[in-house]
Amino acid sequence: MAEGVKLAIVGATGAVGQEMLKVLEERRLKIKELLCLADPREAGTIVKFAGEELTVRAADDKAFKWADVALFAVGTDVSRQLIPQAVASDCVAIDNSYAFRLEKDVPLVVPEVNPEDVKWHKGIIANPNCSTIIMVVAINPIHQAAGLKRVIVSTYQAVSGAGKAGLEELDQHINAHINGLEPKMEVFQHPIAFNLIPHIDVFVDENYTREEMKMVWETQKIMHAPQLRIAATAVRVPVYRSHSEAINLETEKPLSVAEAREILSRAPGVVIQDDPQNNSYPMPLYSSNRDEVFVGRIRRDISTDNGLVIWVAADQIRKGAATNAIQIAQLIIDQNLY
């Protein structure tokens, strides 16, 4: 491997960890040494990277002493347990879980939106929720141009957002439906095949789910807009990969559809796909395995002054998780912030 950073992936055997390996190989980060870490029960597993076979090691405090930067692709409880050990070993932690996102002294970063926030990290940088990442890449350019007053978003979230088990449950439910059998619910609250479930994560205050409130709290933090009014509805849909979102925006200043399209066409990480007369608009099938956020159906919100409506789709495993974390790592490496 090339000279560069000593990088660890914690959760290297999971879906996001495996995607991180794929994205790292594609983006060719300067890596001196790559450590693949996971649950001690998975120690000894072989993973492949850049034509090499790497042996997975147990994730513990000793491992972090050998790493400069660690990408965490594990659950909240594991992150809370291991990340303090990484920081104590002078290893910068980039965490994909919810554990530290709203902590005051932890930057919450989407590189197309607030890359400067990495500079004030104290050993931990949080990767936002996948739906939040997708939304802020699309709406921040509008906010910078005309000032956002209000955002109403409805998400259409793929089953892979619930991990490998979510994918398997959709397959099982499709087969059950076709064969007249009763589906078994282990991941989702109701049958997901041929259905929509307006319930992701647990219900909290005002009967919003925590998934919905993540989009509120995290967007306000990332965009440095604590007064921005946001309401979200998160829906699980029987799609394998890539989340979609319908977003209504109310701006401080008037902005025409043409102006919004021009602004978004120049925005980093955005691809305009907006030709409805020729049936061209973002869809999850075609945004899968891509890193961009696709934006289309750009139109005036006829229910309010200074209103716009957009439709977006993006791969939540890549841009919504693995790719965004690696982009953060790139910022850290480029600026020697580890």
List residues with catalytic annotation. 130, 243
Q: Which two tokens stand for residue 178?
A: 């076709």
Q: Which of 4, 5, 2 is nearest to 68 (CA)?
A: 5
HEC states along 138-205?
A: HHHHHHHHHCEEEEEEEEEECHHHHCHHHHHHHHHHHHHHHCCCCCCCCCCCCCCCCCCECCCCCECH
Q: Which amino acid is at 296?
A: G
Phi, psi of 99 (to 5 degrees): -55, -45
**Cβ neighbours of residue 17 closer than 8 Å, sequence gap 6 or more:** 9, 10, 11, 36, 38, 73
Exposure string over 118-145, b if 16+ CB within 10 A, otherwise e: beebebbbbbbbbbbbbbbbbbbbbbeb
**Residue 58: beta bridge partners?**
38
**Dihedral angle, C-alpha 126, 127, 132, 137, nearest 10 °:** 110
Q: Which of 330, 335, 317 is nearest to 133 (CA)?
A: 317
Beta carbons of 101 and 317 less than 8 angstroms apart = no
**Residue 107: beta bridge partners?**
none
The Cα 245–Cα 267 span in angstroms is 18
Q: Which amino acid is at 290?
A: R
The Cα 30–Cα 32 span in angstroms is 7
